[in-house]
Structure 1
């Protein structure tokens, strides 16, 4: 990557980390789309993993007292099971497939019966969503819409959502980095300069987001989080479909 491109991507990482720091979601969705457009899929996945580990790790540290360990434990079990299966398959998606899968996932949840709707505090739901989210992360790079719906479906307040989701994301993206950085045949690589910029940008965006999150009411948080996720999902479905028709 050229110095100018590194600088541009770094600014984008600050902005997307700020967005995720406020709503606990959406920033990674935007970033992975840009990286997929700029880099080979394995490289994009590996760099995105580094960025998200730094961003979510710093966010988790800032809000650590609001983390729900039981939710993390159930989710971790599902992630481990999914990684074991996909490590045997070693599938790397095309760009159109990755984008469409990202966009479709939140809408699929609305087709489920009400009794199947997610509850983040239910261990069985945590295990199931861990399997589904890890699978989607290895297929597309991000499990954002699915994981967002999981946390928004229950009764957790905004601080517990942001903190607990951050820990779950650190876990998921760490496993994704292991998968794309070493387990698949044509593993990706990360430019050390870009990786360093990603870590610093993620930490800066996360710190800038903290006072904004504290200023939001619960109603504002849920209303805008849902709108942002839906808008991004619609864009990815349209973009992925376009790439399928006009590769």
Structure 2
């Protein structure tokens, strides 16, 4: 129970951060979850809590959502969930933390990688990639943010529309893990605690968005994520015996 409560507090903080900056909180949460729960439970539970975080953030900013961008994203997301839902059968669950760590480092430090996954000008493709990748890594980062930033000058529109898109990505992968045999009921107390914490964080971040310099938070976020990713890779390599020690 103390670990569950601590994870819920972390979830509140990451949800608040994302509501302020528009991104980053989900990646921090998925990076710390291996220290609290089993690998096979990480992505499903992360999806449930991030669904709460993004859906609540979208609701609080519902007047600013651009539904014209959302509709093609939804169509692409349906296709992405179906395609990547089949591929996840071939992924070793004990390697998920390693995959997440490598993904985070590439997204933070590789311009070529970011150009490949973010430089899309089509919300159908963005929906396909973002929802599909979320089945594997939990928090692919809102790939739609770059395009939304180019299309909208208003921060509230960008953050709220991106939140709705991420909520769709998370809700569509829930049936995939139910189909794979994951039982959400076994983690119900923790899940409910984290869902409540995520919603509260969204509310707090929405109120604080215009009071805290987002640039400062993003700089701290960059280095914090780097350290967490390196820790995930090293811990997985140690458990798998790849270090030869």
Could you say which TM-score interval applies, normalised by the shorter chain?
0.7 to 0.9
Matched, 1:142 2:139: yes
> What TM-score results when the alignment is normalised by the length of structure 2?
0.82
Distance 1:141 1:74, change over 3 A: same
Q: Which residue of 2 aligns with 1:199?
A: 195
Distance 1:7 1:136, change over 3 A: same
> What TM-score results when the alignment is normalised by the length of structure 1?
0.82
Q: Which residue of 1 aligns with 2:242?
A: none
Structure 2: distance between partners of 1:193 and 1:117: 36
Q: How do residues 1-247 of structure 1 correspond to structure 2 at under 5 angstroms?
A: 3-89=1-87, 90-92=89-91, 93=93, 94=95, 95-108=97-110, 110-111=111-112, 118=119, 122=121, 124=122, 126-144=123-141, 146-152=143-149, 154-180=151-177, 182-184=178-180, 186-189=181-184, 191-215=187-211, 220-221=213-214, 223-224=215-216, 226-228=218-220, 230-243=222-235, 245-247=237-239
Distance 1:167 1:202, change over 3 A: same
Pairwise CA RMSD? 2.8
Deviations 1:52-107 (A, max 9, x none): 11111111111001111122112222211111212222243512122212331354
Report the number of matched residues. Answer: 234
Contact (CA 8 Å) 2:130, 2:142: kept in 1 or not?
A: no
Q: Which stretches in structure 2 are left out of the alignment for 5+ residues?
A: 240-245
Q: Which stretches in structure 1 are left out of the alignment for 5+ residues?
A: none
- Using the TM superposition, give the Cα deviation of residue 231 of structure 1 relative to its aligned residue in structure 2, in angstroms: 2.7
- Using the TM superposition, give the Cα deviation of residue 50 of structure 1 relative to its aligned residue in structure 2, in angstroms: 1.3
Structure 1: distance between partners of 2:57 and 2:114: 33
- Using the TM superposition, give the Cα deviation of residue 145 of structure 1 relative to its aligned residue in structure 2, in angstroms: 6.1
